[in-house]
Structure 1
Amino acid sequence: MKTDLVRILDGNIFVLSDGSGDLEAKPTVPCGFYSYDTRFLSLWRLTLNGERLSPLARDDPSYFEVRFFLVPGEPTHYVDAKVSVIRERSVAGSFEEQLTVLNHSREPAEITVHVEADSDFMPLIVAAQGRTPKGRLYRRVENGRLHLGYQRDAFRRETVISSTTEPAQVDERGLTYQIRIEPHGQWTTTLHVRGLVLRPDGEDVREHLHPGRRRRDRFRLERNLQQWLGTAPQLNCDWEPLERTYRQCLVDLAALGYSPLTLPAEALPAAGLPWSATLAGREPIFASLQALPFAPDLARAALHMLGIDQGAVLDDFRDEEPGKILREFRYGELVAFEERPQAPYYGAADVTPLYVVLLDEYERWTGDADTVREFEDEARAALHWIDEYGDIMGDGYVWYQRRNEQTGLENQCWKESRGFLWSLGVAPAAIPAELHAQAGLYRSILAERRMLILLDNCRDWDQIRHLLPGTGGSLVIATSRRRITGVAGQAGAHPLHLDLLTHAEARELLTRRLGDEAAADPAAVDEIIARCGRLPLALALVATRSVGRPGLSLPAVAGELAEADGRLAGFGDTHADLEAIFSWSYRALTPEQPGSSGCCPCTRAGS
């Protein structure tokens, strides 16, 4: 993605443009006006007498507003333009642009001002790849306003463009003004662009969720920013650059503030611009942790919002499990039609433990024990998830295994290689940004060492090959829950395919974990082995849960497994009824344990 784009934002509503303020979206240049995970403008181009404008200068007074100073044609080192344009833009709930055309000559100027507009209504999460719309694009002119729209069944989005200046010639391609400016005079108009999330009756959904909520504008955003800066700790020192840097950091933190529809009066940090300008789990937790000495309210808002969306059921499509904290939440077309699972999506292993860490750190910094008591149910549910679902191997570690094999997130592996290289002693500043350069550095380090490297739960050969040493005496063991093709032809690779446990091996595993109880009831053991499909993971889960419930007999365990239905496709084996095992474990909770949030606030049995 181009890094020289001009950006202004208000939460998850933002505008990306080129240096002159024009928006011309391409897969490699994701310009546009975005709101709630949809691009509402993909084209916004200003011309004077058919000529494009070039930038002379730019002023960025705030994160939500920008001014472009432009001239027609190509600029030169000695510009003697008879006409210039000031383009003042802000985003505050909607997109507003004030155009001012100045005549610097001694003669009147006849000028045609044209603003060309269009929208592809691209979902944000695929804006970089491009996509053919599955619905119907439409455009119409109504009451002097240009309406650009998209509809797919009941899903509707619409962009409404209007102007304060009459007469504007509005057609389906944009707005045109035929103006006359007197010598040394100027002409001004303001363009309003609203992105609407429409219900079937044509009303904006957001207007009905919070009918008493005032619409945002740039003056209100400015007041909010000044209030934010006024409540933060003040830094006074004799080195002015440090004071300026500290203030800018506070402004940048305020720029990330995102108020979700569920909590319109609270702001938590969004994940980042542009692809992650949404509610996420990991990013607001880290940002809130780092900002605790300066803005502890961010942490409280993050705890509140993430607790509201905490997992409550087993849902393979969204990778949801009781007590799990979400990874991200999206509003766009792809999640509305369940082509993507992010509404919300829970595919992450670290966010749930981090939620508990944030709650503890918040109390440590603020002394606010009331907030800890308020979110006690959510914290206990998160701790229960760590024990019951995060520790899927029964070894005391939190693992990641997606349930949704089609559209769920895979293990990121080499994508997280910066931390891998850091663990090998490479300073963060010395880690290259490009993937192949990282792989080369990794191999050069291993060439001088003898190491055993374990790569667990690999997806395919392409994921493994970057992590193989080039030369030297290191050994790599790569495990996978599926057969990996392409390994046999690689030099030094020795594929070893492990089948299911035999019945005798499965019985030995249970006997080793359950002791004399397994030997005393062979029929129940046989039933459990059959229900677990002779998979070691399934057998280990059942054994661990059975040990934690000493009053439960093995025939009762086999009976409860028989009552549970469904399969956990994420483990990739149709012989094992693993979802039944998880469901059986969840139903074993006592009636007093589920909390007010609808989750499972409990800890490991006996702890």
Structure 2
Amino acid sequence: MPVNENSGEPPATDPYKRHTQSTNITNELVIRQDNLTFVTLDNGEIPIGGNYGYGLYFKDCRFLSGYLLKIMGMSPTPILSNDERGYQSLVVMTNPEFLDCKGDTIDKETILISRNTVIPGCILETLTVENYNPVNVTLDILMEFDADFTDIFTIRGITGPAGGTILPVGYSGGEMRLSCAGKDGHLRETIISFEPAPRIVNGKSCTFQLSLRPHETRAIKVQIFVSDTAPGQPGLKEPVDVGQQMNKILRSYIAAVECCNNIPTSNNIFNSIMERSLADLTMMRMSQYGHTYHSAGVPWYDALFGRDSLISALQLLPYGTEPARSTLLLNAKYQGRKYDDWTEEEPGKILHELRVGEMANLNLIPQRPYYGTVDATPLFLILLAEYIDWTGDTGMLKRLESNVDAALRWIADCGDIGGRGFTSYAVKSDLGIYNQGWKDSFDSVSRSDGTLAKKPIALAEVQGYVYMAKKRLSPLFKLIDRHDDANRLNREADDLKERFNREFWMGDRTYFAQALDAEGICDVISSNPAQCLWTGILDSGYVKPFVARLFESDMFTEWGIRTLSSSEKRYNPLGYHNGTIWPHDNSIIAMGLRKYGFVNELSVVFTGMYEAARMFTNYRLPECFGGFPRSKYSLPVKYPVACSPQAWASGAIPQMLTACLGLVPDALHNRLTLNKPHLPSWLNKVQFNNIRVGDTLISLDFRRIEDKTMVNVARKEGDLNVLIEY
């Protein structure tokens, strides 16, 4: 990305000006397992042509870019679609009026067509056709496929095509084979098999003829396999063991349901939202080097992202600690070791994004991995401390001690650009991301006059993350006899807090600035500093007016808190980071409201997000949604190309529940504190069973009585002190 080095301004032409150039995907069905993701329209199809994000994805490549279904040359009419099981989708359709193969008129809505699709390491679709006519019907079913083998960065419009060669389609032995010889030397193939075999195969189209007696049912089974063979590797492996994979999937989803069953509440809709959230987090799991982590989001960010994987693991800690452990180890494996301007790698830095597709293999993009993120490094340290709070696993601290030291050195050296004492970023890579916080679109950091921030940029929330990381690590260092380092970290954190409150506070606006840039203060009202509540960096004297300002109507919509005030010049209710509502942002803010004792305000934010989740299909919160006031439309407005599901959006409701219950674990001291538990008015009772703190299992009953929330320790297996603070 060419940047004017003198001005530090964003480039006039930015490949990341939008996170994707693709069009609306708001009516998608999504199923996924591990590294395989299938995104279709709500009728189960993948449109051929047009700039869409639908497809079958594997290793950042689209292995199926078209999948159409016709009955006698006509599209069936969908009447039901559902993907509430993350590994399975169901589409039910019926017929328009048509002439069958014998020339007989078949009335509309007399044929039922069902597509049942599962993803046990491949796509397994069963097409069932039922005849509800009183006479025999003979009909043709046409399936048309296409595979463009396009890299996700090309689909998003960030790069041009790599230039691989699409090979002629082949069909033999009952299999259709779509192939591409990649520029990177990889042979990528989509292999489609059918049962029964099609009557006619013409290029990428297959025609089946079915004769059905009255009330007879016939089925066609389609299996779609993907293969990515690197140079020098053997060809397609043995076929996927579908049964074994399905058993593995079912076990993971049963575990997710059991986790949800451990948290029954008095509100059945909320129970369904929680089950959806935990099931989606199960669906978003990926694995690498034996470590499991959460993919960031479907379809654009279906990969390892440092920031996203760390935050989603944080959100999930009270419900399961293994994702945090695994995510820490994987991010440590990719921690920066050298200086590289192309990838923005620096020693000690935690990665931003890892891609493994053709563009990355050809080094045409820096995401191999790319390190252009300012916040993943302190978040890595925070997750480690929070993980130890829940588990008491000090062995993890010893195991990652060198990684912790490297991360702290990066914060002190590379992170402090210009020696201002604040952790900052300044893009270096020609194809790097200009803004490197979680709001990483090119125009997401600005001033009240509408001008964009100039590098180097120090974001408010990042200073909070650094403060929190140092404060949390200080007592842990004492445990491993590093008392001098512990005291130093504590002093550095206190000094950062004092400077932050002095330089970021905008007294005339009773609010903290979004950032400091090369020319001074970025004085917009935004959600960035609201995350600082969670980190504890805000002086108590500023907090009350700050929180009051946060809940004014230009920031709070009754669905949630906007990313940018509606009074700012760059506000757009459908601006990716300039006015939309992000569930994960609100959940972190909710945790901060809890920390500073604003339980009523926490309840208001939780209520807004709960009521938004009620309105979305299958209770699935998307990556973000429109920042319109609730009074304007009475329904949350979809953001056209939002990732759905997205890991940290799925973790938002569970984290908000954690905030309301006031859970503060301290496994090292065998203690669990319940800090001012406060259930909202729509949630009268919560049972949180089998909470694990260290080696102790505990079950708690929370009950709302009038405006108070009472707690009862229902069961305890182990030596744990439970403190309840009202």
TM-score (norm 1): 0.66
Q: AA paired with 2:433? A: L
Report what 1:169 is aligned to.
200
Alpha-carbon distance in structure 2 between the residues aligned to 1:269 and 1:439: 31
User: Which of 159, 168, 171 is residue 190 of structure 2 equivalent to?
Assistant: 159
Q: Is the contact between residue 53 and residue 74 of structure 1 (CA under 8 Å) also seen in structure 2?
A: no
Q: AA paired with 1:151? A: A
Q: AA paired with 2:182? A: R
Report what 1:106 is aligned to.
134
Unpaired stretches in structure 1, ≥5 consecutive residues: 446-465, 467-607
Secondary structure, aligned partner of 2:409: helix
Considering Cα pairs closer than 8 Å and 6+ residues apart, tell me whether 1 or 2 has the greater RCO.
Answer: 2
Secondary structure, aligned partner of 1:178: strand
Q: Is the contact between residue 555 and residue 566 of structure 2 (CA under 8 Å) also seen in structure 1?
A: no
Structure 1 residue 286 displacement after superposition? 0.8
Secondary structure, aligned partner of 1:87: strand
Report what 1:535 is aligned to.
none
Q: AA paired with 1:39? A: R
Report what 1:578 is aligned to.
none
Structure 1 residue 395 displacement after superposition? 2.8
RMSD: 3.2
Poorly superposed stretches of 4+, deviation over 6 Å: 211-216
Please give the per-residue CA displacement for 1:481-534, whole angstroms capped at 9, x wherever unaligned: xxxxxxxxxxxxxxxxxxxxxxxxxxxxxxxxxxxxxxxxxxxxxxxxxxxxxx
Q: Is the contact between residue 69 and residue 85 of structure 1 (CA under 8 Å) also seen in structure 2?
A: yes
Structure 1 residue 428 displacement after superposition? 9.0
Q: Is the contact between residue 198 and residue 207 of structure 2 (CA under 8 Å) also seen in structure 1?
A: no
Q: Is the contact between residue 49 and residue 112 of structure 1 (CA under 8 Å) also seen in structure 2?
A: yes
Cα distance change, pair 122–355 in 1 and its aligned pair in 2 (3 A): same
Q: Is the contact between residue 526 and residue 565 of structure 2 (CA under 8 Å) also seen in structure 1?
A: no
Residue range with higher mean Cα deviation, 151-160 or 289-298: 151-160
Secondary structure, aligned partner of 2:318: coil
Cα distance change, pair 83–444 in 1 and its aligned pair in 2 (3 A): closer
Secondary structure, aligned partner of 1:339: coil
Cα distance change, pair 255–92 in 1 and its aligned pair in 2 (3 A): same
Secondary structure, aligned partner of 1:402: coil
Secondary structure, aligned partner of 1:389: coil
Cα distance change, pair 231–170 in 1 and its aligned pair in 2 (3 A): same
Alpha-carbon distance in structure 2 between the residues aligned to 1:212 and 1:50: 33
Please give the per-residue CA displacement for 1:339-386, whole angstroms capped at 9, x wherever unaligned: 101111111111111111111111012211112212112111111211
Q: Is the contact between residue 93 and residue 215 of structure 1 (CA under 8 Å) also seen in structure 2?
A: no
Q: Is the contact between residue 9 and residue 64 of structure 1 (CA under 8 Å) also seen in structure 2?
A: yes
Indicate whether 1:57 and 2:80 are aligned. Answer: yes
Indicate whether 1:127 and 2:150 are aligned. Answer: no
Report what 2:104 is aligned to.
none
Cα distance change, pair 19–229 in 1 and its aligned pair in 2 (3 A): closer
Report what 1:195 is aligned to.
226
User: Which of 145, 170, 179 is residue 175 of structure 2 equivalent to?
Assistant: 145
Report what 2:432 is aligned to.
408
TM-score (norm 2): 0.56
Cα distance change, pair 349–430 in 1 and its aligned pair in 2 (3 A): same
Q: Is the contact between residue 55 and residue 71 of structure 1 (CA under 8 Å) also seen in structure 2?
A: yes
Indicate whether 1:296 and 2:296 are aligned. Answer: no
Structure 1 residue 426 displacement after superposition? 4.3
Q: AA paired with 2:119? A: V
User: Which of 67, 74, 77 is residue 44 of structure 1 equivalent to?
Assistant: 67
Unpaired stretches in structure 2, ≥5 consecutive residues: 1-23, 99-106, 447-512, 515-524, 530-545, 572-577, 579-726
Indicate whether 1:186 and 2:183 are aligned. Answer: no
Q: State, as a whole percentage, how many aligned pairs show the same letter.
A: 25
Report what 1:441 is aligned to.
567
Report what 1:399 is aligned to.
424
Residue range with higher mean Cα deviation, 340-349 or 127-136: 127-136
User: Which of 250, 256, 276 is residue 222 of structure 1 equivalent to?
Assistant: 250
Q: AA paired with 1:410? A: Y
Question: Residues 199-278 of structure 1 correspond to what in structure 2 (within 5 A)?
Answer: 199-200=230-231, 203=234, 217-230=245-258, 234-260=262-288, 262-263=289-290, 266-278=291-303
Please give the per-residue CA displacement for 1:21-64, whole angstroms capped at 9, x wherever unaligned: 11015554311111111111111001111111110112335012
Q: Is the contact between residue 233 and residue 294 of structure 1 (CA under 8 Å) also seen in structure 2?
A: no
Secondary structure, aligned partner of 1:415: coil
Indicate whether 1:35 and 2:58 are aligned. Answer: yes
Structure 1 residue 69 displacement after superposition? 0.7
Cα distance change, pair 204–401 in 1 and its aligned pair in 2 (3 A): farther
Q: AA paired with 1:357? A: I
Q: AA paired with 1:152? A: G
Please give the per-residue CA displacement for 1:126-183, whole angstroms capped at 9, x wherever unaligned: 3133854512111222322111111134122111111121354334212221221222
Please give the per-residue CA displacement for 1:528-553, whole angstroms capped at 9, x wherever unaligned: xxxxxxxxxxxxxxxxxxxxxxxxxx
Report what 2:347 is aligned to.
322
Indicate whether 1:66 and 2:89 are aligned. Answer: yes
Alpha-carbon distance in structure 2 between the residues aligned to 1:237 and 1:254: 21
Question: Residues 167-566 of structure 1 correspond to what in structure 2 (within 5 A)?
Answer: 167-200=198-231, 203=234, 217-230=245-258, 234-260=262-288, 262-263=289-290, 266-404=291-429, 406-411=430-435, 412=440, 414-416=443-445, 420-422=525-527, 423=529, 425-427=549-551, 430-431=554-555, 441-443=567-569
Please give the per-residue CA displacement for 1:429-487, whole angstroms capped at 9, x wherever unaligned: 84499xx9958622499xxxxxxxxxxxxxxxxxxxx9xxxxxxxxxxxxxxxxxxxxx
Cα distance change, pair 426–240 in 1 and its aligned pair in 2 (3 A): closer
Structure 1 residue 416 displacement after superposition? 4.9
Alpha-carbon distance in structure 2 between the residues aligned to 1:50 and 1:233: 47
Q: AA paired with 1:242? A: F
Alpha-carbon distance in structure 1 between the residues aligned to 2:424 and 2:34: 32
Structure 1 residue 231 displacement after superposition? 5.4
Alpha-carbon distance in structure 1 between the residues aligned to 2:261 and 2:137: 53
Report what 1:15 is aligned to.
38
Please give the per-residue CA displacement for 1:92-129, whole angstroms capped at 9, x wherever unaligned: 32212110111111222111111100111111123133
Q: AA paired with 1:407? A: L
Cα distance change, pair 330–204 in 1 and its aligned pair in 2 (3 A): farther
Q: AA paired with 1:409? A: I
Structure 1 residue 289 displacement after superposition? 1.1
Cα distance change, pair 168–309 in 1 and its aligned pair in 2 (3 A): farther
Q: Is the contact between residue 421 and residue 442 of structure 1 (CA under 8 Å) also seen in structure 2?
A: no
Report what 1:531 is aligned to.
none
Alpha-carbon distance in structure 1 between the residues aligned to 2:565 and 2:182: 44
Alpha-carbon distance in structure 2 between the residues aligned to 1:48 and 1:194: 25
